[in-house]
Amino acid sequence: MAAKSDGAAASRRLELPPECPSRSEPRSPLRRVAEQRYSLSDCCWTLCALLVFFSDGASDLWLAADYYLRRDYWCFALTLVFVVVPSVVVQVLSFRWFVYDFTETVESGAAAVVAASGAEERDFSTKDSDERGAGCTAGAAVLPGPGGAGGARGCCRAFVWLVQALIHTFQLAQVWRYVHTLYLGVQSRWHRDSERRHYYWRMMFESADISMLRLLESFLKSAPQLVLQLCIMIQASQVLPLQGLSASASLVSLAWMISSYQKVLRDSRDDKRPMTYKAVMVQILWHLFTIGARTLAFALFASVFQLYFGIFIVAHWCIMTFWIIQGETDFCMSKWEEIIYNMMVGIVYVFCWFSVREGRTRCRMLIYSLTVLVENVALTAAWYLHRGARTSDFYAVAMVCVVASSYALGTFFMFVYYCLLHPDGPVSGWGHVLEKEVPVESLASPATSLPPDLVSSPPRTLQRTKGSDREQGPGVDGDVFQVRPPRGAQAPAQHLSPRTEGPVIRIDLPRKKYPAWDAHFIDRRLRKTILVLESAAPVTPRIQYRCLGMPKEVMEFETTV
């Protein structure tokens, strides 16, 4: 991947290149990021998510303490393991992200200096890599030194490192990120437009991070915790109040985080319509009942066949992971990260459906739903036929009815979501609405959005630069993006006046297709570039992905630093 910052380029880019033709068929207008605002509903949603997090963790720890006081050390150990281990994994990942985001390099400081000077002069130049490297060195020279203001700045940085280390040591990374999201959202409401956009996109980046972390934590902690507690209750033939509270909190956390993840993902992409809170609540009910039926069937079967249950879970996970890998997903920036991600999604597929591929999902969802239905019936039937003598017929029939009715209710809410509340609009048949996509080519169409020169906030896919506008520069292997002041260009008389909007970051990658995150959301190098430029430039930098209509040209986007 390679990218560069072009600043105020010539307005010739208003032309639609032949490889990105306009669509003759008008489409629904895409929402513009500049029009998005942090609302009271968003604030309440974040507070509720924080409440769900606290209730899930606190109920599990309270239950573990209760097991210890009852001298039930085996249940205490298992409950505590499913709390501590996933939490440590999430803290390590969160701290790794913090280290990368907070570490200031000479290149990022120089980028801010170059971007700031270029934004003021509006007369950019595109020299070769040696001259650009000299410019970066000069920019780095004006950064604070170790003495004076630099010393105070170093103390502040050391304090931030200490605070973050303590936060992650005490397993509070999720709380900090939720609070930080609230702070950034409120700040985006209080500042003027340019600063509002900056805070809003910092809030979006933070929301993406916390949604990914919480989704990972939910299926590493809440899902196995729910199965464990249900299995203990079935074997003991009684339900303690704390067991019911812990199981309920785990179930709500699972359903909440899947729906929250989908909402944040849709909000982050300008080629998809946002999900309303009414649709989110219906999706929560959908996952609440389907996951409830699934975990209850697991617990019933595991209460009788512990060994076979473990074999079944491992086999199901392997099959689902292979199915996901075979589908060639495109979420991560490297092959090995993609494989690890697919393995994690395989854990999600043990419990519920999770869309990981772009396009029509009717067949894939139908196959998965039928597979889960057959497995639930088989697991529940095996428990019913081999249940212990202490289990009465009335209790057994009641459990079977709960599993069946819960799955039926979840399927009903799934149909309600797809037929009435899907972001693409209500449809008569649910098969026609599954993940409708707005093609990348249509993002440059005048019928669907403003001209690229008028777009002022990321993320926005712009048209590709024509050959006459392009410069050939020496490439450097391993460079991912380049921030440099571009050369001023005279606009032809037949075009509009040159833009004064600031830098354009070109990414030598096609835009990832939904339901994947855009590259500038998951690649933290691009994210740092956007935030550095945005803090220095008078307006928000714009993002341009390579069009899918043309084959990749290695030298089309320069890779110099």
- Side-by-side strand order, sheet with 3-5: 482-483, 3-5, 504-510, 542-546
pLDDT of residue 217: 95
The residues, ordered by sequence, that sit 6+ positions from 199 with a Cβ below 8 Å of its Cβ are 184, 185, 187, 188, 191
**Does residue 12 carry a pLDDT above 80?**
no
pLDDT of residue 141: 33
Q: Closest Cα partner for 45 from 187, 238, 210, 191?
A: 210
**Does residue 3 carry a pLDDT above 60?**
no
pLDDT of residue 23: 35
β-strands 504-510, 3-5 pairing: antiparallel
pLDDT digits (tens, 9 = 90+) for 410-451: 999 999 999 999 998 765 444 444 444 444 444 333 333 433
Q: Which residue has the higher pLDDT, 30 or 382?
A: 382
pLDDT of residue 390: 83
Beta-bridge partner residues of 482? 4
pLDDT digits (tens, 9 = 90+) for 202-241: 999 999 999 999 999 999 999 999 999 999 999 888 899 9
pLDDT digits (tens, 9 = 90+) for 390-399: 888 999 999 9
pLDDT of residue 282: 97
Top mean pLDDT of 237-241, 294-298, 459-463 is at: 294-298
> Could you give the CA distance from residue 183 to residue 190 in angstroms, rounded to a whole number?
11
**Does residue 16 carry a pLDDT above 70?**
no
> Could you give the CA distance from residue 265 to residue 217 in angstroms, rounded to a whole number?
17
Q: What is the pTM of this model?
A: 0.76
* pLDDT, average across residues 530-548: 75
* pLDDT, average across residues 360-379: 90
pLDDT of residue 55: 96
Q: Are 201 and 458 in contact (CB under 8 A)?
A: yes
